[in-house]
């Protein structure tokens, strides 16, 4: 959701779904303040919505819209459609209206702007609540609109089965993903613990079939370590949950206690989470009032700038490297962009995913409408949705490297921190 948390502003009455609401976390990831679904959330209630009735939404017909053809089609179908299969049922008036709204929504050609009829809306709410089994990966639409794995989560069935960041999902249990929304994909992937879902993915010019057994997902949040030989301290964030900021506080205190002045912040494969967590973590590095990220509404409403609270307790003289890759999305991109643009950190790795839009979730009776309402801009004005965050030093990590337990990206970070080049 875009409350990936980085997308929901606690000061608002609307439900803002950050990062691209289409990026959904296919796992059970219940946090103390809600569920991370993949985006950037603010940290308040993730389920606040805009009610349809009495909310001031404008129901006035657009006088410039000529609906003659629409009503011709409606009446022609009513008068002439003949059922040719016993299993075919005629749609109700409400179902026909939902179909029209869905077509209207799809005409905007935005993978994150989605209409969900009641059944799909219910599944979406269950996803948020965490009442389901999954495989432990986040998916989204890439720049070409293809269903893509943003990141398999560490230690989950997806990772263990061999799913990789950047894999293009061609089919789910034999059903093509062509034209499938991320929410529809999540519905197809979700299921009972112990059952199997089969993916056909496209990777390196080849199609690969990968079966994955669903489970209840326990997502790791943070890991930290100190290499005395090099003097480099590493903190790895696996997601931005409701308590990630508190966990980071503890890890950062351990970093300071180590006496190290060389820090690696590893955001690889981190699909995002709560905006508040990203802002609080950035505040360790940035003076009070420094811009972390801006929600740009392109003139439709006043922009919202999220700023450092000014903890600013990083030891003087500390050199910081942030590791990113195509699995770094949403809140990860916000944090990396903030520290980079404020000249605090050097970015090493590969280009991040580019999950940088903000959605509102509108309640239409029993149905729901997710609408992209803004985009994330880094302090330097970089639109995260347009290609993600580019590293200062580009270093790839191949699957051969992974299989051989080699990490050239981290090795390059250690080299940079210890030699300055």
Check 167, 183, 276, 341 and give the catalytic one. Answer: 341
CA-closest candidate to residue 5, choices 276, 345, 347? 276
Active-site choice (102, 187, 262, 355): 355
Are 324 and 389 spatial neighbours (Cβ–Cβ below 8 Å)? yes
For residue 355, indicate whether it is catalytic: yes
Catalytic residue among 330, 332, 357, 368: 330
Distance CA 7, CA 358 (A): 6
Which whole-number Å values give the CA distances from 48 to 5, 41, 92, 243, 347, in the listed order? 12, 12, 29, 20, 35
Core vs surface per residue 263-284: b (16+ CB within 10 A) or e: bbbbbbbbbbbbbbbbbbbbbb
**Radius of gyration over every alpha carbon of the chain, rounded to an integer in angstroms:** 22
341 belongs to the catalytic site: yes
**Residue 330 among the catalytic residues:** yes
- Calpha distance 195→383 (Å, rounded): 40
Which of these, 395, 380, 398, lies nearest to 336 by C-alpha position? Answer: 380
Rounded CA-CA distance 217/401 in Å is: 26
Q: Give me the active site residues, please.
A: 330, 341, 355
């Amino acid at each position: 959701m875009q409350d990936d948390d980085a997308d929901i502003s606690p000061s608002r009455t609307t439900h803002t779904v950050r990062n691209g609401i289409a990026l959904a976390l296919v796992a059970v990831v219940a946090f103390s303040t809600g569920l991370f679904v993949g985006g950037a959330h603010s940290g308040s209630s993730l389920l606040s919505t805009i009610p349809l009735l009495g909310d001031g939404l404008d129901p006035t017909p657009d006088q410039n819209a000529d609906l003659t053809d629409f009503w011709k089609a409606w009446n022609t179908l009513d008068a002439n459609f003949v059922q040719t299969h016993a299993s075919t049922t005629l749609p109700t008036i409400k179902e026909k209206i939902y179909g029209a709204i869905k077509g209207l929504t799809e005409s905007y050609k935005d993978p994150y702007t989605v209409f969900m009829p009641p059944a799909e809306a219910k599944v979406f709410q269950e996803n948020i609540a965490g009442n389901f089994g999954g495989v432990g990966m986040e998916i989204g639409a890439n720049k070409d609109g293809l269903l893509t794995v943003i990141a398999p989560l560490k230690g989950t069935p997806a990772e263990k089965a061999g799913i990789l960041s950047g894999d293009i999902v061609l089919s789910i249990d034999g059903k093509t993903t062509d034209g499938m929304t991320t929410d529809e994909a999540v519905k197809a992937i979700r299921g009972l613990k112990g059952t199997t879902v089969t993916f056909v993915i496209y990777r390196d010019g080849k199609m690969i079939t990968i079966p994955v057994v669903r489970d209840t997902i326990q997502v790791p949040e943070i890991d930290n370590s100190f290499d005395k030989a090099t003097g480099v301290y590493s903190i790895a964030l696996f997601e931005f949950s409701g308590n990630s900021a508190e966990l980071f506080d503890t890890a950062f205190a351990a970093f300071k206690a180590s006496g190290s002045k060389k820090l690696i912040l590893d955001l690889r494969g981190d699909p995002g989470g709560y905006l508040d967590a990203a802002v609080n973590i950035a505040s360790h590095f940035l003076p009070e009032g420094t811009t972390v990220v801006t929600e740009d509404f392109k003139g439709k409403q006043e922009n919202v700038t999220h700023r450092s609270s000014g903890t600013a307790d990083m030891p003087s003289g500390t050199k910081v490297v942030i590791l990113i890759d195509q699995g770094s999305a949403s809140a990860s991109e916000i944090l990396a962009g903030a520290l980079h643009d404020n000249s605090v950190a050097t970015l090493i790795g590969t280009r991040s995913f580019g999950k940088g839009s903000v959605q509102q979730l509108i309640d239409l009776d029993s149905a729901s409408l997710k609408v992209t309402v803004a985009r994330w801009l880094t302090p330097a004005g970089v639109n995260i949705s347009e290609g993600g965050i580019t590293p200062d030093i580009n270093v790839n990590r191949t699957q051969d490297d992974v299989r051989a337990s080699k990490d050239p990206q981290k090795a390059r970070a250690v080299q940079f921190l210890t030699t300055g080049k």
